[in-house]
Structure 1
Amino acid sequence: MTDPLPTNGLLNQTDSLERQNEKLRIIVGKLMARVEQATNDHAQGFVHFESAIALQEEVQNRTRNLEEALDVLHATNAQLAAAQQEAENARRNLATAVETIQEGFAIFDAEGVLVMKNSRFSIMFRDVVDKIQRGTRFEDYLRTCAESSHIVRPGDMGVDEWVRQRLAVHETNSVNFTLELKDDCWMQVSEQRMADGGTIVLQTDITDHARLEREERAKMLDRQAKIVKTTLEHIEQGVLIFDPSQKLVEWNSAAIKILNIPRRLATAGTRLARFEQLFQSGRVFIGDCAPLAVYDWAASGPGRAVLRTEVEATNGFKYEVLGQEMTDGSFLISFHDITQLRQAYEDLHLVNETLEQRVIERTDELRAARDSAERANASKSRFVAAASHDLLQPVNAAKLFISSLEHTALDEKQSATVSRISQSFQSVETILSALLDISKLDSGKVALNISDFSLGQIFERLQTEFAGMAAAKGLDLQIVPTTVRVRSDPVYMRRILQNLVSNAIRYTETGRVLVGARRRPDGIDIQVIDTGIGIPPEEQDKVFKEFHRADTSHTAESAMGLGLAIVERACTMLEHGLDLQSTPGVGTRIRVSAPYAAQEELVPDLAEAEPCAHNSVRNALIMVVENDTRVREAMERMLEIWGAAPVIASSLDDAEAQIEALGLLPDVFLVDYHLDDDENGLDLIDSLRERHGPLLTILLTADRSIQLEREAHSRGVFIRHKPLDIEDLRELIGSLLAPKGSK
């Protein structure tokens, strides 16, 4: 007995429904044949019957499954047919859509194989369009196009080279270029990569657009040419324009007139060589200006540098020639008439020469005027100095006589008169001294002695000098002691502060005058503060001018407003800051700014003796060397009043004779600086010291120069200025004669 047919291996779920049905029919036939055979075989009938019964049930189950599978198969086949119909419809719709595209359209898959195109794709390649079909590879498509007789390959480029370059372009992400075809046709080709790696190629016929654009460009160029032509005709310069092949393309009437160009040459396309004769020497231009250089420049070929030259025509006109090459190799030559400009330049040059001569003459005149002014100023300064000296001499004598009168027996009325006379002479002395100082400062020839010194020394002197003056007006004079050291000229610093303190006391009726120094990061501020009448704002810029007084109600005894003028000039000369702050009815603050000292060691101030009692002057033998008779008499009388024994001389020889007659040396020598026969007091003192050894000497002079003070101090000679301060001189002599350790 044979085994039942295995069914597991016969039915495969992956088989199609047709295949499974075919297998089931075979199985059923076999089973029926075996059943029939079993019926005939009585020996095995029962066994076969049982097998048939089991097999029948299985067949029935299989049949039911088969029927169900057939139902599914029929449904699936229906769906498949519907899907195939939809795909076919979609394919027809896509083909219709592609065909409706006005441009040539094609799709190449990722392998570069043409899968779809429309009828307009490559239609402009009429001789090879039939060779481009579905299945054509992209490279073969390019080669077919390159072999077309309608394509224009640049230059002598072969098919292989054109295909190679086109493939290189195809490899880029974005492709868009214009392809030239024969018969003045143009195609724009663009390519777009798809997500699956395929390529869409779009071909657009732009022939009409290109022709229209060319026509518009031609019209625009024509309009531009007309504008250029019109512009050229309306400019004064003569202009010639040549193309890169040296053919004339544009010109204007001015160029024809300037170059005297024959009408046969003034046509488009005339070659440059035909213009050479116009630049020959003597034809249009004179030979001295080398006109042929213009033609040589134009004929030199591309790469011309800018040409700029001048030529002169035979008719006398002068032209500036400018040659300029353009980027495309064309060039322009222009001729600009500069005849009037050159004439104006020559006229201007002539005028300049005349002006230069006039300037020289005027400069000489101004220089002469300046020299004259400087001489006049120097003469004025010398005159002021001489006049001041000459005036100070009689004033000095008058003061000496007045001092003598003050020590005589006078009634009350006479004493008052003498006092008023003394005050008047004091004012005259102040004015003359101020005029002399201003004259020296204005001359600009003051020699400064800039050094480091203690400001405290000057403050101590100010206290001594002005304490009495302040007390006489009932004012509180406060001079704050200081140890600060400054860098300046000690003499002029003292004069500045003397004038400021004197001015403050003069214009303060009640209250006080304060003098102090305040340290600043960049220097010292020396301040003089008063509680005086103050200065109105409109007057504050004027108080430093000569002969200006803040309060005109004061009498002439208040001087003539020269003190602050001296302060302003001295600060300017020393480069010290000067600032004024004032409120009417409240007071005034004047600040002088000076730099700190640059050195630590003390620089000794001008030598001065300490004041002492008057007793040392009594019975002293004092020699006076003075060439002015009135001053000698006044000095003699003053010394007698002091109780001293005066010895009077007029010269060195006279002084030596007096010493020899006395048989002893005087205790102190009072020597005038200006003596007769061009002698001076310092030389006289040196002569006396050479013969008699060290002497106590005081130089009396109206010369207030710093140089003289320094020279006197360098020789150990004290100096006092005329008109003399009688009490100051008496104190100095007393201090020189006082025993050591006494006061």
Structure 2
Amino acid sequence: MINPDDPYEVQIAKQAKIIEVLIKRAERGHEVGDTAYALFQSAITLQAEVWEKTKDLEKALDTLGRASNELEIAYQAQERIQRNLADAMVAMEGGFALFCEDRLQVCNSQFRELLPDVEDIIKPGLAFDDYLTAVNASRYLARDEGGGAGSGYGRRQVATAQGPSGQRFSSFVMALRNDRWFQISYRQTSSDNMAVLQTEITDLVRENRREKNRLIDQQAHLLQAAFDHMSLGVCTFSSAGELLVRNERFGALLGIPLPLLKKGTRFQRIIEHVERHEILDRRSRRAELTGWFKALLHGETIQQRFRRRDGMSLDIRVHSLPDDGFILSIMDVTAETEAAELLERRVQERTAELTEANRMLQIHAAEQAQIEGALRQAKEAAEAAHTSKTRFLAAASHDLLQPINAAKLYLSMLSETVEQSDAKEVVGRLNRSFNSIETLLQALLDISRLDSSGAEFNVTSFSLGVMLQGLAEDLAPLAAEKGIRLTILPTMRWVTSDQRYLMRCVQNLVVNAIQYTERGRVLVGCRLAGNKLRIEVWDTGMGICEEDQVRVFKEFTRGGGGKGTGMGLGLSIVERACRHLDHPVKLVSRPGHGSMFSIEVPLAPVGNFDSRENTVAEIMPDGGLDLIVMVVENDADELHAMTRKLENWGASVLAAASTAEAVSLMQEIGTPPDILLADYQLDDADTGVDTIQTLRAMAGEEIPAVIISANRQRELMQLSRELSFSVLNKPVQLVRLRALIDWQTRGRAA
């Protein structure tokens, strides 16, 4: 019933009411009770309740006493704080005031007496904004030229800012008329009150002013010292044309006496003095000297060059100043003028020399043009001869290889029919002779292609191991014939190069190693070299001396004192092809110990093996060739030789000299052939590719086809991939031809 948080006076009043109610209840109990026992029981109950209430009342009175003591102590502490605050405010050098809820609560005498005309309104309850308005309107404030409060520093209002706890603070400087200065600062306290301080800063302002004047005087002294020591004569004039500042150099350059250079001397007098005493040469003086004022009024910069009578050259410049005055500067440019005149004379002399030299150069240029014309004609003639040679070799390759191919076919048939040993030996020698002719012709054609500007390469990624395996099978008989052990180490690496040229280069290196090795072995292997693979060919031959290690790469050059069976073209082809393919070639050799040739080729990621490229085994298949083979060849001898050879293998041959004859033969037999062998270059712009496309279109199916040609251009290889036919180079190796026919027709036979 009694809230312990209520004030003690409220608690005592509530207890008194409760006691009064209990007493009245007890009295009513006596009136109502019937028996003495009931009265006695009510009295006992009432007495117990009275004792409890009495105890509560005693506790409340005790608590009230303690609270009264604490309140008295607080009152005393407040009085002491107020006295201390008053003493502190009196002892403060500046004015202090405290505003509560933007109303003045307390201030000291210094705050009140600062401005006499504002003193009467500074009383408790004054609004803070009214105080600021009254201060700004005080007649004791110094006024600037615009009529606003302030002088010197003026009344500089500082923007209200936020303190670290969110309180506002601001300040401004106030100048009084008797050259006294005060800083008015006000700050919001944590209890949202406003404390205002008036701090006199007169001594600080006056000291700053004295220091400023001292610095200005010092800077003016230094500036004047530097001004006087300038090599440039300088003089400034006011908007009225009166002299303001000048240095000694100005008077020295114009020869003007010091009395005429006093402050306030008019510019016109100085000009008149210069003209009257003819200080400047008449020929170089400008009549418009007095008209400079008009030009300066338009903001123009004037620059004139004069010469004194003693020969000194002066450069005079006049610049306008922001206050409509102007500054005149004079520079001694005698040395520059003399240097310019000397330079001009030298330029004239040099120009004359250059003119003569130019005339001589024109004569030489005309002669050079005649020489260049002759050289150009010679170059064009050489290029035409080279182009003619290239065209001739390209055209002759077909015509030269045709009879060789036919002869080899006839020799192959002859070797199968001849039984006498003497005749077989003759046939063997003929075969070797034709092989030598073929090798020499292929080397000459390769060199011609590599020397031509349009050399073509078919750079692809392929398995090097497959290529080396084919070389091992091709060259094993040659090594066995000489009793040399040929070892080609297998590899699983893939490389990026032109497969045909790279195989030809490695083949030439291995053949050379076998030819120049009398006993021992030839080793071919691969070694990693960073991101490249180095193909190395080692031999135990005679070696190459150091002076011959560069010469052996030239055509028709053989090592070992000219020994060997070749024509000296193999290493020349290697050097040309690898140079075009950017494959470095290295040679390490010691005479009497052997040699090592190497070719570096870029490595390539391992890819899928293309069975179409290397499925032809280098072993002559057994059994007859039970097929219908159509041969298209425009050379009658080669057509006859190829027909006889295929018939000896058991094939039924349809011989044609053109696409039209092939079409006629297929229409005649009423069925497409099992395989088509066609020369690429036929008569009258006809080609073997045309034959393949025509016969396939007539048959409605993809007839297996092989192009036999000496043409090794990239376009033909691209067509072979697009149209799915094989390419076999002339002269034809019969083993490869037979294996290729079996591989091409294997699917049809099945």
Q: Normalising TM by the smaller chain, what interval?
A: 0.5 to 0.7
Match of 1:718 in 2: 726
Inter-partner Cα distance in structure 2 for 1:530 and 1:357: 59
Report if aligned partners of 1:454, 1:602 keep a CA contact under 8 Å in 2.
no
1:660 alignment counterpart: 667
CA deviations 1:595-642 (Å, max 9, x no partner) are: 221x45447487243326533543332221100011112112222333
Instruction: Point out the more displaced range, 541-550 or 470-479.
Output: 470-479
1:707 to 2:715 alignment = yes
Name the residue aligned to 2:622. Answer: 615
Q: Greater shift after overlay, 362-371 or 346-355?
A: 362-371
Residues in 2 aligned to 1:469 and 1:714: alpha-carbon distance in whole angstroms:
37
Letter in 2 for 1:629: A
Structure 2: runs of 5 or more not aligned: 1-213, 219-250, 256-276, 286-303, 319-329
Measured in 2, the distance between the counterparts of 1:461 and 1:622 equals 27
* Partner SS, residue 452 of structure 1: strand
Aligned equivalent of 1:734: 742
Question: How far apart in 2 are the matches of 1:467 and 1:325?
Answer: 97
CA distance in 2, matches of 1:364, 1:741: 67
Alpha-carbon distance in 2 for matches of 1:736, 1:601:
24
Residue in structure 2 matched with residue 40 of structure 1 by the alignment: none
In the alignment, structure 1 residue 587 sits paired with structure 2 residue 594: yes
Q: Give the 5 Å matches for 1:295-444.
A: 298-301=313-316, 333-334=338-339, 335-336=341-342, 337-338=345-346, 340-444=349-453
Residue 686 (structure 1) aligned with residue 701 (structure 2): no
Q: Which residue of 530, 535, 539 corresponds with 2:548?
A: 539
Aligned residues: 447
Shift of 1:739: 6.9
Q: Which residue of 2 aligns with 1:306?
A: none
Q: 1:669 to 1:616 in 2, by over 3 A?
A: farther
Corresponding residue for 2:574?
Answer: 567
Is the partner of 1:407 in helix, strand or coil?
Answer: helix
CA distance in 2, matches of 1:424, 1:727: 19
Of structures 1 and 2, the larger Rg is shown by 1
Pairs within 5 Å for 1:500-579: 500-551=509-560, 554=563, 558-579=565-586
Q: CA deviation at 1:293?
A: 7.2
Do the aligned partners of 1:272 and 1:299 also contact (CA within 8 Å) in 2? no
Q: Cα distance 1:617–1:470, how it changes in 2: closer, same or farther (>3 A)? A: farther
One-letter identity of the residue aligned with 1:385: A
Cα distance in 2 for residues equivalent to 1:600 and 1:608: 16
Shift of 1:691: 1.2
Question: Which runs of structure 2 are paired with 1:171-182 in the superposition (5 Å)?
Answer: none
> Within 2, Cα distance between the matches of 1:630 and 1:482?
43
Distance 1:244 1:408, change over 3 A: farther
Q: Distance in 1 between matches of 2:381 and 2:252?
A: 73
1:337-365 residue CA offsets vs partner (Å, 9 max, x unmatched): 44543322111222333444444554444
1:98-117 residue CA offsets vs partner (Å, 9 max, x unmatched): xxxxxxxxxxxxxxxxxxxx
CA distance in 2: counterparts of 1:441 and 1:294, whole angstroms: 77
CA 1:393/1:295 → structure 2, altered by over 3 Å: closer, same or farther? Answer: farther
Which of 642, 647, 669 lines up with 2:649 in the alignment? 642
2:483 matched residue in structure 1: 474
Distance in 2 between the 1:741 and 1:632 partners?
A: 25
What is the rounded CA distance, in whole Å, between the counterparts of 2:532 and 2:283 in structure 1? 83
Quick one: distance in 1 between partners of 2:611 and 2:569? 26
3-state DSSP class of the match of 1:273?
coil
Are the counterparts in 2 of residues 610 and 732 from structure 1 also a CA contact under 8 Å? yes
The aligned residue for residue 32 of structure 1 is none
How far apart, in 2, do the equivalents of 1:635 and 1:740 lie?
22
Matched position secondary structure for 2:362: helix
| Residues 527 and 709 (structure 1), Cα distance of their counterparts in 2 relative to 1, 3 Å cut | same
CA change 1:245–1:295 in 2 (3 A) is: closer
- Check conservation: 1:452, 1:487, Cα contact below 8 A: yes
Structure 2: distance between partners of 1:524 and 1:696: 37
Q: Distance in 2 between matches of 1:741 and 1:610?
A: 17
Higher mean displacement: 382-391 or 433-442: 382-391
Q: Secondary structure at the match of 1:698?
A: strand
Q: Which amino acid aligns with 2:640?
A: E
Q: 1:354 to 1:398 in 2, by over 3 A?
A: same
Query: 1:147: which partner in 2?
Result: none
Deviation at 1:480, TM superposition (A): 1.0
How far apart, in 1, do the equivalents of 2:335 and 2:454 lie?
73
Provide closer, same or farther for how the CA distance between residues 610 and 728 of structure 1 changes in structure 2, counting only shifts above 3 A: closer
Normalising by the residue count of structure 2, what TM-score does the alignment of the two structures yield?
A: 0.54
From 492, 508, 515, the equivalent of 1:499 is: 508
CA distance in 1 between counterparts of 2:620 and 2:417 reads 21
Cα distance in 2, alignment partners of residues 518 and 725 from structure 1: 32
Q: Deviations over 1:349-396 (max 9, x none)?
A: 223334444445544444443333222211111112222222111111
CA contact (8 A) 2:543 2:560 kept: no
Contact 1:622 1:645 in 2 (8 A): yes
SS at the partner of 2:552?
A: coil
Deviation at 1:734, TM superposition (A): 3.1
Q: 2:717 corresponds to which letter in structure 1?
A: E
Unaligned runs of 5+ in 1: 1-163, 169-242, 248-268, 278-291, 304-323
User: Which residue type is aligned with residue 354 of structure 2?
Assistant: Y
Distance change >3 Å, CA 435–CA 273, structure 1 → 2: same
Aligned with 1:675 (options 645, 664, 682): 682
The answer (yes or no) to whether the contact 1:606–1:713 under 8 Å persists in 2 is no
Q: What per-residue deviation string (whole Å, max 9, x for no partner) do you get for residues 1-37 of structure 1?
A: xxxxxxxxxxxxxxxxxxxxxxxxxxxxxxxxxxxxx
Q: What amino acid is aligned across from residue 653 of structure 2 in structure 1?
A: P
Counterparts of 1:384 and 1:572, CA distance in 2: 22
Q: Distance in 1 between matches of 2:549 and 2:577?
A: 18
Q: Higher RCO, 1 or 2 (CA under 8 Å, sep at least 6)?
A: 1
Percent identical:
36
- Name the SS for the 2:685 alignment partner: coil
2:658 to 651, 654, 657: 651
